[in-house]
Chain A
């Protein structure tokens, strides 16, 4: 569990305690992409907007087309992805939209006074998941 804050332009920092949990790693998935329900992640996001109107929830946006393209590239060129099965129907959770959020995100609404934070630290993203990054 890794509390992450977004500082600026994709630069991440940490705030608070880091905790580890046991996880069942007995099998590996071959059908990709995974469903959001299969990603063991708890996301608590404080929703804010910067002065340019960008939302703090951008980091958890999924673009279907970009994701499938990335997966096809990995399948073609990365030997670790040779045996995977790309099941595009697993993107149906997006309801046909090309881009949307993880649907189980808990979003804390920013209050009106603090909704616009200065550009230096314009939003706060608090993500907890068991293992981080690709």
Chain B
């Protein structure tokens, strides 16, 4: 278990985009009716 500090709780998607240093790429595939799965490796890239 881990605790998320209150400063990082409730950040919106927009706020996360502005402060992120690393962007993970998750190869997501659509299975059926909005259900998602993952195929392959997950890679994280530096944001520039």
Contact = CB atoms under 8 A, between A and B. Distances in A.
A14 B19 contact: no
Give the most central of B13, B16, B45: most A CB within 10 Å. Answer: B13
Contacts of B36: 14
A120 interface: no
Which one of A14, A67, A73, A80 has the greatest number of beta carbons of chain B within 10 Å? A67
Interface residues of A, number: 47
A58 B12 contact: yes
Given A14-B28, A60-B13, A131-B45, A28 B18 contact: no
Q: Give the most central of A39, A84, A133, A134: most B CB within 10 Å.
A: A134
A32 interface: yes
The range of chain B's interface size is: 20 to 34
A129 B17 contact: yes
Contact of A80 (B8, B18, B22, B48): B22
A59 interface: yes
Contacts of A34: 17-19, 47
A34 B16 CA distance: 10
24 contacts: A14-B36, A17-B30, A20-B25, A25-B45, A26-B48, A29-B21, A32-B18, A32-B19, A34-B47, A41-B17, A59-B14, A60-B12, A66-B10, A67-B19, A73-B8, A81-B21, A101-B14, A129-B17, A130-B23, A131-B47, A132-B23, A132-B26, A133-B20, A134-B16
